[in-house]
Amino acid sequence: MCVLAVVAPADADGPFVRAWSLGVSPALIHELADAPGRTAEFFALNRGKIQRFNAAGARLDEFAAPSKSSRIATDPTGAVPHLLVVSSATKWTGAIDHTVTTDYFLQALDTSGTEVWRKRFDPKEVASLEPSVVVLNSRPAIILSASRRILAFDARGSQLWSASIWHHPGSVTAAAVSPDGSNSLLAAVAPRQEIVRIDGDGEVRGPWGSGDGPSRVRAMTTDGRPYAVSLRQVFGRGQGVRHALAFFDGSGTVRREVELPPDSHHLSYMPIGPLDTDGSGRRNWVLGLGDGTILVFSPQGEELARYATGERLRTIHALRQQNGPDLLVGATHRGLTAWRPVPGRIGRRR
C-alpha cells in the first residue's frame, strides 16, 4: 500500500485554476447534482432551499426544498427528468431537544420544485437513504440504497424490485461488470468483507471483490473498461485516523491501494468520483478532502495531481461542459467555487 503525503504545488503552475467563486448565505450547501438533461447546469441543496446555477456561477432559480431534505440526485441524461430528494419527518419525544424520525420520503420534483410523486418508508426498516439513477436492463432505474434494503423504481415511481441486502451506506454503485457487458449494481455487504454484484432484477450474482467496511464505493467506465474505487478507514497503522483508497479493475481485482495522510478528513457525501480532466471523454478519479485538498488519480490508482484550493470543502461535483474538460464545482465554507483542470499539468510528475 502506498502512503500519500499531500504537498501543495504552487498556484502558478497548479493542475487547476479558479474559474469563479460565489458567496452564498447561508453557506450550508452539502449536495450538488446535474440539472436533468441540461449540460452545464446544476442544483444545490442549501439548507431548506434548492438552487439552480449555470456553469458561470449565475443563479437561475430557487425554490423551497421538502422538509428536512438531506440528499438529492438526478439523471444527467434527462431520461429520468426529475430531481430526486430524500426527506424525513420527525416528532419531539418530550425530552429536551430530542426528536426521532417517524417517516422517510423519496420525492420526485420537476425542475421548478413541484412534486410529481413521493414514496414513504418506515425508519424501522430503512436507514441512511441515498438515491441514484442508473441504467439496468437497458432502461433507466432509480436506485434507493437504504442500509438494509436496496430498492428500484421506474421514472413514474412504480417499484421494480426490492432486495433485502444489508450493505454499507454509500457503497451502492453501477458498473458494466456483467458477463455480457451490461450494467450491474455493486454493493459492499455488511458485516462481510465483500463487494457483491447485483443484476438488473435485484438478484445477487455472487461476490465481485473485497470490501472491508468502505464508506464509499464508486464505479465508472472509461476507454470502454469499467473501474471502481473504495474509500475505507484502516486501523492499526500508527497515530491518527487513517483512510485508504482501493482501486479495482472490472474483474474486482485490487490494482493499487493508496493510504491518505493521517487525520485526512474526507467529504461526507461526494468524496470521490469521475472527472474528465482534458475534454477527451476519458475520466480519472478526483478526491476532495475537507481541508480543501484535491487529488487526481488515474483509473488504476496512479497519482496524477494534487492541489490545495485554499477553501474548506463540504462537497465536490464534476460538472459536464459542452466542450473541454469538466468543471470541478465545490461547496465551500463561503459558498461555491469552480476550478478548471489544466490538462497539461495533470499527469506531470513533480
**Predicted pLDDT at 13:** 79
Buried (b) or exposed (e) across 261-272, using 16+ Cβ within 10 A?
beebebbebbbb
**Predicted pLDDT at 262:** 87
The 10s digit of each residue's pLDDT in 182-216 is 999 999 999 999 999 999 999 999 999 999 999 99
The 10s digit of each residue's pLDDT in 317-334 is 999 998 999 999 999 999
* pLDDT above 90: residue 146: yes
CA distance linking residue 182 with residue 262, whole number of Å: 38
Contact, 199 vs 184, CB < 8 A? yes
Residues 6+ apart with CB under 8 A from 48: 64, 65, 67, 69
CA distance linking residue 216 with residue 268, whole number of Å: 9
Q: What is the DSSP string of 208-239?
A: EE--SSEEEEEEEEETTEEEEEEEEEE-SSSS
**Predicted pLDDT at 237:** 65
**Predicted pLDDT at 7:** 40
pLDDT above 90: percentage of residues in the chain? 82
In a 3-state reduction of DSSP, which class is residue 344? helix
Chain mean pLDDT for the chain: 92
Contact, 106 vs 115, CB < 8 A? no
The 10s digit of each residue's pLDDT in 253-275 is 999 999 998 888 889 888 999 99
The alpha carbon dihedral of 121, 127, 132, 137 has a sign of negative
The 10s digit of each residue's pLDDT in 289-320 is 999 999 999 999 999 999 999 999 999 999 99
Helix H or strand E encompassing 195? strand 194-198
**Predicted pLDDT at 10:** 42
**Predicted pLDDT at 36:** 96
In a 3-state reduction of DSSP, which class is residue 128? coil
Domain covering 2-94+101-345, topology: Methylamine Dehydrogenase; Chain H (2.130.10)
